[in-house]
Amino acid sequence: MNDHSVVKTVIQGEVEISGDPSVVFATLLGSCVSVCMFDPLARVGGINHFLLPEGGASESGTAMRFGVNSMEMLVNGLLKAGGQRSRLVCKVFGGAAVVPSLGRIGQENIRFVTHYLVDEGIRCVSQSLGGTLARRIRFWPTTGRAQQNLVQDVQGIGKQEVAYSRREAEAERKWAREASSEVELF
């Protein structure tokens, strides 16, 4: 990074796109996955940060937390910014097992993203997936450069993931209760 860099932090459920050479995206991953995708000729790139491969949330605010929605938004955002699908390449990070009580979320995210990229014909030029350590990622969208630092102290990230998991479970239960009591007349 240089003195003129603008660091944009990407949190869970977000997708960011840029063609600005001064922009650097940054994120912190535990069991979540981020795909850093770019078109080297158009010099445009983007990053996502998703929590789960797929889900049934109906609210648009939670939809981006699922890989299937996040990946579509990432690809479509790059195309709208001038990228060409045939030139898109990516680097993939995350999917660690930082909290054993959360089960195999990291592995499910890895399985999803690797299948998605193969199915969509998007070339992955680099990946760092799995393990037990969190990752701090920086991504320069116009050049495709990515930097990873492994985070030894995962306790804070683990607590965040457990808290998020509990909030999501409660939100799903609440939505199910409200949806089951609604009647729509035509």
Question: According to DSSP H, which parts of the chain are helical?
Answer: 60-63, 67-80, 105-120, 155-180
Query: Could you tell me the residue ranges of all domains in the chain?
Result: 6-180
Give domain 6-180's CATH number out of 3.40.190.10, 3.40.630.30, 3.30.1330.200, 3.20.10.10. 3.30.1330.200
Residue type, 158: G
Residue 101 pLDDT > 80, yes or no?
Answer: no
Residue count (the chain):
186
What's the whole-model pTM score?
0.79
CA Rg, the chain, in Å? 17
Over residues 30-76, the pLDDT tens digits come to 999 999 999 999 999 999 999 876 665 444 445 556 778 899 999 99
Distance CA(136)–CA(122), nearest Å, equals: 24
